[in-house]
Chain A
Amino acid sequence: MSARTLKGFVKGLALAAVFVLPAFAASSSGPAPAFQLAGRNGKAIDLSQFKGQVVMINFWATWCKPCRDEMPLLEDIYKKYKPMGFTLVGVNVEPDAKDAEAWLGKLAKPVSFPIAFDTDSKVSKMYKVAVMPSTVFVDRKGNIRVMHKGYKAGDENAYLTQIRSMLKE
């Protein structure tokens, strides 16, 4: 490898570092922003109604495949931990709630946890959603502890670990 090619590698690595910084800049902590959104069957969903519980907010959309894949697993997690003071809120980010309602209606395993419709993306912006899906873990005091970006098979184990440790508090 010539000296010039080596210089190229080094310059490349230096430049790569600049790409990395923005990713670590966006951290999630502090109180979870309050919100009030329309839910299914006309019931409004207010984040403050869940104070005292461990809340897992999942931002999803019907057009996002990993979001769709994740849904039945989220339902299992909800059913298992609900009795221990846990709740899941699925925030749908589509401008038209009808698409999500239609998709939810056709599910083989219906979803029983609350679904909120963020039709004007206000809540997504407040939570700085940067990836679809995004899952935010809020503790009993109402503070954001972790924001999990994306979903791939096996991530549910990370979810369970986080939930269990937060339930013990």
Chain B
Amino acid sequence: MRIRGLILITLAVLSAGCSSIEPWVKPYDRENLADPIMAFTRAPISQDFLDHVFESREGSRGATGGGGGGCGCN
């Protein structure tokens, strides 16, 4: 319940902020971020295998999936 309120406030702040804060990294400055070496996972087939190796021998699991910054191209 408290978590829901927290997320609500965060989203409200984020969205209100969206209209007054300009994205500070412009799409034409995204060259380095778009470089293939900047991907968190360059080869999903290899990363999936290693994640499986670790998960099947450790007690920890979760929170390993990828996210990404995008290349700024649209």
Contacts and interface: CB of A to CB of B under 8 A. Distances in A.
Interface string A128-169: 011111000000000000000111000000000000000000
Contact of B72 (A18, A22, A118, A132): A132
Contacts, number: 62
A73 interface: no
A61 to B, nearest CB: 7
Interface size class of A (residues with CB under 8 A): 20 to 34
Contact of A130 (B27, B34, B71, B73): B27
A132 B15 contact: no
A131 B29 CA distance: 11
Interface string A74-113: 0000000000000000000111000000000000000000
A131 B52 CA distance: 38
Contacts of A95: 31
Interface string B31-74: 10011000000000000000000000000000000000001111
Contacts of B35: 63
Contacts of A25: 19
B27 A131 contact: yes
13 contacts: A15-B11, A18-B16, A21-B19, A22-B18, A63-B31, A63-B34, A64-B73, A66-B74, A94-B31, A129-B27, A130-B27, A131-B27, A150-B74
